[in-house]
Structure 1
Amino acid sequence: MNTLTDLTGLGLRWDPSGQAGLTGPLLALADDCDRAFQRLASRWRCREEAYPATLPATALHGHLRSFPHQVTFATALDSTDDNLAAFADGPVLDRDGAVALTRTAPVTAVLTPAACHHVYSAHQGEQLLTAVHVTTRNTCFRRESSYEPLRRQWTFAMREIVCLGTAEETASFLAEARAAVDRFAVLIDLPVDWTSATDPFFRPERHPGHLLQRIQPVKHEATYGGSLALASANLHHDHFGSACAITRDGAPATTACLAFGVERWLYALVDRHGTEPGGWPDLLAAAGQAAAR
């Protein structure tokens, strides 16, 4: 089991607020993980797309109602001179270290909760002639009740592979994606098990999405050690296709994604293969084999 001392010695800089900085061996391993996930994405000839750290609140299509407990909002002070002066002349911070905010500007942006959300907004209104495969990486933000280094964080790196197409095309993508993750995990000697899962809805007993996911599982997680989800395979049906007016074959597109939490892979790799970098597997070579058709 990794200890904070072990991870600190490998280059972890841990902030108890739930944020990690990396240097040295862990930073190099994180880079290798992301390149390996990009190599897996090459199986579908994915195009790389990069996005900002925030999303317009209008683009989240129900996310704010479903997960208000996890959202991190992008806020700023109202820019009027009197308001800025009141802030600058005030305590700025209270006794607990919290910012003593004066009046804030309207909140219109949310820090990215999942990398794939950007993809659907970016392809708003498109009429797809073939299935589209995209890969993207972003820093994601999710508030939690507690945090644990590399395992559960407020901010973390997420690499995603996204498919937009017909129901048949997304089903085929998810089957191939799970098989590729399985091959990759075997090649790097990292045992994982796929389990069905539900998203952490706010008031799940009252949320129709939670009930639907229990009846018809659309989220499956590749877990390490019985509890740590390293990757998730998600089917959204035509939810985002309808919301963003993306069509395929004259109907709202179906979307699916394969998501990797980079820091969690660091934890699992060090837990499985030890704290000596020389004993860590060749992730790029394994990913190349796993991606081969």
Structure 2
Amino acid sequence: MTVRTYQLGAARPAAAQAMVEALQLDRDNVVRVEHDAATGSLHVELVRPESAERIDAVVLSMLRMHRRISPKVVREHRVSSVEVQDIDEELAASPHLLQLGAGLCGLAGPLLVLFRWFEARFRALAASFGAEEHHYPALVLAEILEEVGYFAHFPQHATFCCHLPDSLPVLESVAAEARQAKGSFAETLADRLCPPRHVLTPGVCLPCYRQQRDVVLGPGEVRTLTMQNHVFRYEGANVRPLTRAWDFSVRDIVFFGSYEQLHDLREQVVEACIALCRELELDVRVELANDPFFLDANRDKAIYQRMGEVKYELLFDLPHRGRPLAAASFNLHRDFYTKVYGTRRSDGQLAESACMGFGLERWVYGFLSQKGLDPRRWPDPVTRSFKGSAG
């Protein structure tokens, strides 16, 4: 057994956790990863000694990146009497959390009512900005992700979809094998599947940018869209109920316009979220953020995200998890998507886009971590929604 130990020093908990999660994705080289917060040490058990050089490079590169990142709180709502609860054991024992597999959870009873409550509030928030409602399939063409460079940044999250060929002999042979194996024969399918042309969407808003191809906004126009869907991001061993799932639900609000317009709109959305947390007496903060893990040459993009203040996140503190939970993100894309699809303003300049995203299961978990699982102790705005609801 080969174990490498790295001294992370004063690296923030979020940085240490990002390294742990990144290394856990590398199952070909890494057996186990542990971070000792008391000593600041990161212990990595390797599959083979020759992997050490590669793992050294990954850890040192990520450490350099995170040392260049400083925290910045842009808004917050603090509740003096909040007591963040470790609710994981209660959730695991609850009949209302339906654990269907790694990264796959369903909801019932009061947890589903709470989910629907947040769902309705964020849909109403989108409507308050005059957003046009769109609905997209869970499948997205792989070529769309290629167009926007998703595979170059986050290939680890992609869940590819494919099917058997339009060939009667192949279909007959598969059916025959299934009858003989009584349904357990998946390992024999790989060589007969068609190349994947579709992906389960890793981002609710992704289809909407292509829909704005060659669109020209009117003078002073802001185009506002909203959509909700299941989102699929493969997380390997990092899955945890409600907070890190393979299949989860997100409401997005997307704006197209000028930088000045979108900057102001983001401030308005952030303020609306803080107002919601004030109404529910939730202890949260909005912090300058970056995507926690980029592959190799893309890691400098995290620094760009910080310097340009293009990404904010709304965070719930979770001491029992060792890191906060991001339940919403407020992103200025600048012209990243509009340049790909030629979306312009009336003066001929490229338009810009912005996306405000709300992870519904994460809002449920953040709420429960502060209010507990007993609906009788929940704030009035939520308990009023139980009228006429079972459970």
Q: Same fold (TM over 0.5)?
A: yes
Match for residue 130 of structure 2 among 45, 52, 74: 45
Contact 1:204 1:210 in 2 (8 A): no
**Where do 5+ consecutive residues of structure 1 fail to align?**
287-293
Paired position in structure 2 for 1:25: 110
Match for residue 275 of structure 1 among 354, 373, 376: 373
Task: Give the letter aligned to residue 174 of structure 2.
Answer: F
Match for residue 312 of structure 2 among 205, 212, 220: 220
Aligned-partner SS, 2:155: coil
Q: How does 1:62-211 map to 2 (within 5 A)?
A: 62-90=149-177, 91=181, 93=184, 100-129=189-218, 130-145=221-236, 146-211=238-303
Task: Give the letter aligned to residue 214 of structure 2.
Answer: G
Paired position in structure 1 for 2:97: 12
Task: Give the letter aligned to residue 227 of structure 2.
Answer: T
Cα distance in 1 between the residues matched to 2:298 and 2:268:
34
Cα distance in 2 between the residues matched to 1:121 and 1:284:
37
Task: Give the letter aligned to residue 179 of structure 1.
Answer: E
Deviations 1:224-278 (A, max 9, x none): 0151001000110011111122112322210011101000111111121121223
Cα distance in 1 between the residues matched to 2:310 and 2:134:
25
Paired position in structure 2 for 1:257: 355
**Where do 5+ consecutive residues of structure 2 fail to align?**
1-85, 318-322, 385-391
Count of aligned positions? 284
Aligned-partner SS, 1:127: coil
State the TM-score, normalized to the length of structure 2.
0.68
Match for residue 3 of structure 1 among 85, 88, 109: 88
**TM superposition outliers: structure 1 runs of 4+ over 6 Å:** none
Q: Which shifted more, 210-219 or 178-187?
A: 210-219
Paired position in structure 2 for 1:289: none
Task: Give the letter aligned to residue 224 of structure 2.
Answer: H
Cα distance in 2 between the residues matched to 1:248 and 1:171:
16
Cα distance in 2 between the residues matched to 1:72 and 1:125:
29
Contact 1:66 1:201 in 2 (8 A): no
State the TM-score, normalized to the length of structure 1.
0.89
Contact 1:83 1:102 in 2 (8 A): no
Higher CA-based Rg: 2
Task: Give the letter aligned to residue 25 of structure 1.
Answer: P
Closer, same or farther: CA 150–79 of 1 in aligned 2, 3 Å:
same
Contact 1:13 1:22 in 2 (8 A): yes
Deviations 1:91-136 (A, max 9, x none): 5635xx7574342223211111111112212222211111011111
Cα distance in 1 between the residues matched to 2:337 and 2:381:
33
Paired position in structure 1 for 2:36: none
Closer, same or farther: CA 50–99 of 1 in aligned 2, 3 Å:
farther
Q: Over aligned residues, Cα RMSD in angstroms?
A: 2.2
Deviations 1:182-220 (A, max 9, x none): 111111111111122222444245445334224323111
Cα distance in 2 between the residues matched to 1:116 and 1:208:
24
Match for residue 241 of structure 1 among 328, 338, 344: 338
Aligned-pair identity in percent equals 31
Contact 1:111 1:141 in 2 (8 A): yes
Closer, same or farther: CA 149–46 of 1 in aligned 2, 3 Å:
same
